[in-house]
């Protein structure tokens, strides 16, 4: 996978069974591209961190704004500094 | 204290000030109804959950406060979906409680089990699947906060039956959060906007429902008057300003006034207040106001730059924004621009009912209704030609008195929404304008009307067709009519009578306008059938996908 023009959005979200649907559903119903997703519980397990690999196209600002509106999103950071290759290494699992 | 989940829900709803709940009981929400039985909250039994959802919407839209509906699991929840989706598109604060199968049965395809949580993610502002009675103490205040804060919207709370029955011990009742006030607005930005208005030669204020939601109708008028800026409204903004106001140029968009579309097109500055540039308002977006700079003010940050790039934008409550802007804006006469607007208005006169023609012409009937009932009456519509005629012609003079399905365009909206509006506003007259196509989508609620006897009239524009579909087939689909004409039409006045309501068929009386006037003076429910010529089209109109300047008539 080429990683040019990609960036990573880091989300801190409430950790419950429906939160993943809220995030991925937003991408599918608004026609945004989601290239990769990594997620895991943090701390005592009440919250999770999510890394979303997305393309930086004309929709990108809208993606950020819509994600920010979700009630389960506690914090949103743009991670320009993130090492995208972590998503490539997921391939090692298959 | 020890209370069951169901008792916690009902107690907190009482505490929130909810006095009426529309709903239908079923297996999975019976514990909730058991608790409701002992409450002073009035229950309105709808005949279909969609009706219950729209009754809640009628209460919420007419008061601005969150309203509540109940449904059971499975089909009860799926029946609610359309009303919830409608509330999402028009930003209406509805809190819906759905019963769910017991926690131990979730995921087993149990009887009347459906994934309500999954189904309602895309159509709510937020939703909850409650996993313990104790959670309700947080979830319910939070649900109302979400529904009523910022841009309002619907919230679904799915409560498994065992959670309703589970007894929970706790120290004290939670409080309800006051809706939080949002962002501070920088003075510098206000000054820049005031300056842009000052230097604009042809400014136009375009406003939407946000003006009404934020309680800013007076401020809107003050701003327009101080700087002499013409105003145009989206359909959902109707009622924010009197249609008689000299600066008001009418509704914009597909069935707006020709002059509103023309004047907006001429503008060099659009002050867009509390709206989201819906395609029915803008026409072809790329052609919309190409020569204008847009200043967009909305409480939802994600609406800014979503459709039209803004030259300047403010993400704020409009009341806060306008309170700051008005003192900063200078007084201006704008003689030239206003003269140009008045000339445009005179050159493009607005639709009127034919003087000597059809007594049942919808525009004529609308005029007659407006003349027969108090100015502050609440008008609801269904969706279709009649909705456009009412939006065009009915003089909506005050906020929250025009309830219509704008975003989702839901046929079946008008009658149950009118019930809710009448229940929440006992001193007011409510009139539901409907068409025969729309009416049949929720006509079971005539039974609810017979139960509750709200002070409302249903005016059925009966043309035996899906009129707006027929019109589009005539104009844009080679007059190849399919599926738009009903092969048979029932005797609607007879049906209403069988439900136990007063009814009248204007086709069968010697003095139809006199009979109409008389029926509208009743302080009880009345159904009025109006025979409408099926060939009648709603004009002017922007063809779907065309620019607003391409209006046909």
Q: What's the pLDDT tens digit per position in B508-535?
A: 999 999 999 999 999 999 999 999 999 9
Q: Chain B partners of A22 at a C-beta cutoff of 8 Å?
A: 121
Within-domain flag for B548: no
Q: How confident is the model at residue A82 (pLDDT cuts 50, 70, 90)?
A: confident
CA–CA distances in Å: residue B533 to residues B56, B129, B358, B462, B475: 34, 49, 9, 8, 17
Within-domain flag for A42: yes
Which of residues B347, B379, B394 is at a domain's end? B347
pLDDT at B358: 87
List phi, psi (to 5°) of B280: -70, -25
Within-domain flag for B71: yes
Within-domain flag for B537: no
**What ipTM, to 2 d.p.?**
0.91
pLDDT at B314: 97
Q: How confident is the model at residue A81 (pLDDT cuts 50, 70, 90)?
A: confident
Among B246, B424, B177, B222, which Cα is nearest to B324's?
B222
Q: Which of B88, B89, B116, B121 to mutate to test the interface with A (most CBs of A within 10 A)?
A: B121
pLDDT at A68: 95
Q: Is B127 on the interface with A (CB under 8 A)?
A: yes
What total number of domains does chain A contain? 1
Q: Mark whether B61 and B88 lie in a shared domain.
A: yes
Within-domain flag for B518: yes
Spell B498-537 as b/e; 16+ CB within 10 A means b: ebebebbbbeeeeebbebbeebbeeeebbbbbbbbeeebb
Distance CA B540, CA B538 (A): 6
CB atoms A65 and B127 under 8 Å? no
Contact status, residue B231 vs residue B251, Cβ threshold 8 Å: no
Q: Is B88 on the interface with A (CB under 8 A)?
A: no
Distance CA B378, CA B399 (A): 10
pLDDT at A5: 82
Q: Mark whether B164 and B193 lie in a shared domain.
A: no
Within-domain flag for B182: no
A45 or B28: which leads in pLDDT: B28
CATH for A64: 3.30.70.260
Nearest CA in chain A to B120: A22
Instruction: Check pLDDT > 50 for residue B71.
Output: yes
CB contacts under 8 A, A 63-92 vs B, are 65-66, 68-72
pLDDT at A39: 92
CATH for B156: 3.40.50.970
Instruction: Check pLDDT > 60 for residue B326.
Output: yes
Among B16, B318, B342, which Cα is nearest to B148's?
B16
pLDDT at A92: 74
| Number of neighbouring beta carbons within 10 Å of residue B6 | 26
Average pLDDT on B236-246 reads: 97
Structural domain boundaries, residue B400: 355-531
Q: Mark whether B342 and B421 lie in a shared domain.
A: no
Q: What's this model's pTM, rounded to 2 decimal places?
A: 0.96
CA–CA distances in Å: residue B497 to residues B55, B194, B210: 22, 58, 40
Which of residues B297, B314, B347 is at a domain's end? B347
How is residue B195 annotated by DSSP?
H
Instruction: Check pLDDT > 80 for residue A90.
Output: no
Among B166, B170, B33, which Cα is nearest to B104's?
B166
Average pLDDT on B59-65 reads: 98
Instruction: Check pLDDT > 70 for residue B68.
Output: yes
pLDDT at A1: 47
Within-domain flag for A1: no
Helices B75-89, B49-63: inter-axial angle, 10-degree rounding: 30
Q: Mark whether B216 and B137 lie in a shared domain.
A: no
pLDDT at B235: 97
- Residue appearing with tokens 């006030």: B181
Q: Mark whether B305 and B416 lie in a shared domain.
A: no
Instruction: Check pLDDT > 80 for residue B135.
Output: yes
Distance CA B503, CA B486 (A): 22
Listing DSSP states for B320-384 in one string gives HHHHHHHHHSPP---HHHHHHHHHHHHHSPPP---SSS-TT-HHHHHHHHHHHS-TT-EEEE-SS
Q: Mark whether B369 and B518 lie in a shared domain.
A: yes
Structural domain boundaries, residue A55: 6-92
Say what the alpha-carbon torsion angle A75, B301, B417, B17 is, to the nearest 10 degrees.
50
Within-domain flag for B131: yes
What total number of domains does chain B contain? 3
Nearest CA in chain A to B300: A69
Instruction: Check pLDDT > 80 for residue A52.
Output: yes
Distance CA B119, CA B137 (A): 24
């Amino acid at each position: 996978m080429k990683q040019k023009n990609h960036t990573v959005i880091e989300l801190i979200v409430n950790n419950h069974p429906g939160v993943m649907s809220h995030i991925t559903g937003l991408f599918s119903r608004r026609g945004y591209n989601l290239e990769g997703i990594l997620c895991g519980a943090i701390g005592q397990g009440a919250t999770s961190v999510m890394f979303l690999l997305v393309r930086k196209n004309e929709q990108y600002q809208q993606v950020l704004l819509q994600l920010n509106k979700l009630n389960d999103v506690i914090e949103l950071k743009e991670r320009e500094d993130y090492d995208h290759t972590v998503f490539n290494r997921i391939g090692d699992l298959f | 204290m020890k209370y069951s989940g169901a008792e916690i829900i009902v107690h907190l709803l009482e505490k929130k000030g909810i006095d009426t709940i529309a709903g239908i009981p079923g297996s999975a929400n019976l514990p909730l109804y058991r608790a409701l039985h002992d409450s002073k909250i009035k229950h309105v039994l709808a005949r279909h959950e969609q009706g219950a959802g729209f009754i809640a919407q009628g209460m919420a839209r007419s008061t601005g406060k969150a309203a509540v509906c109940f449904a059971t699991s499975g089909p009860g929840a799926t029946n609610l979906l359309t009303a919830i989706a409608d509330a999402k598109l028009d930003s209406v604060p509805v809190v819906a409680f759905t019963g769910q199968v017991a926690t131990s049965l979730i995921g087993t395809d149990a009887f009347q089990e459906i994934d309500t949580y999954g189904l309602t993610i895309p159509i709510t502002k937020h939703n909850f699947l409650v996993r313990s009675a104790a959670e309700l103490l947080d979830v319910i205040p939070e649900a109302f906060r979400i529904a009523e804060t910022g841009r309002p919207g619907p919230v679904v709370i799915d409560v498994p039956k065992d959670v309703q029955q589970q007894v929970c011990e706790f120290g004290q009742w939670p409080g309800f959060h006051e809706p939080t006030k949002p962002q501070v607005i920088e003075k510098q930005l206000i000054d820049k906007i005031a300056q842009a208005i000052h230097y604009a030669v042809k400014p136009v204020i375009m406003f939407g429902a946000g003006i009404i939601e934020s309680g800013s109708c007076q401020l809107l008028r003050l701003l327009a008057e101080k700087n002499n800026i013409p105003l145009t409204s989206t359909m959902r903004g109707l009622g924010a300003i009197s249609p008689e106001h000299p600066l008001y140029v009418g509704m914009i968009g597909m069935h707006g006034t020709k002059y509103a579309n023309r004047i907006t097109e001429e503008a060099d500055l659009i002050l867009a207040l509390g709206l989201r540039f819906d395609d029915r308002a803008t026409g072809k977006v790329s052609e919309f106001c190409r020569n204008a700079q847009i200043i967009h003010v909305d409480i939802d940050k994600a609406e800014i730059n979503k459709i039209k790039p803004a030259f300047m934008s403010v993400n704020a409550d409009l009341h806060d924004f306008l309170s700051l802007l008005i003192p900063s804006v200078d007084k201006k006469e704008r003689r030239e621009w206003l003269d140009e607007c008045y000339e445009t208005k005179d050159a493009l006169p607005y639709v009127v009912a034919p003087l000597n023609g059809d007594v049942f012409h919808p525009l004529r009937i609308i005029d007659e209704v407006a003349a027969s009932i108090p100015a502050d009456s609440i008008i609801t519509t269904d969706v279709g030609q009649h909705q456009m005629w009412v939006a065009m012609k009915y003089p909506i003079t005050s906020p929250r008195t025009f309830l219509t399905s704008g975003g989702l365009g839901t046929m079946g909206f008008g009658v149950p929404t009118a019930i809710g509006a009448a229940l929440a506003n006992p001193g007011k007259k409510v009139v539901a304008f409907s068409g025969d196509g729309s009416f049949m989508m929720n006509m079971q609620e005539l039974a609810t009307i017979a139960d509750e006897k709200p002070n409302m009239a249903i005016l059925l524009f009966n043309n035996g067709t899906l009129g707006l579909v027929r019109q589009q087939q005539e104009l844009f689909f080679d007059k190849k009519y399919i599926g738009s004409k009903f092969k048979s039409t029932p005797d609607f006045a007879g049906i209403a009578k069988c439900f136990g309501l007063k009814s009248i068929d204007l086709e069968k009386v010697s003095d139809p306008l006199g009979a109409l006037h008389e029926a509208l003076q009743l302080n009880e429910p009345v159904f009025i059938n109006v025979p409408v010529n099926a060939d009648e089209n709603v004009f002017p109109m922007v063809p779907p996908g065309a620019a607003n300047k391409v209006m046909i008539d």
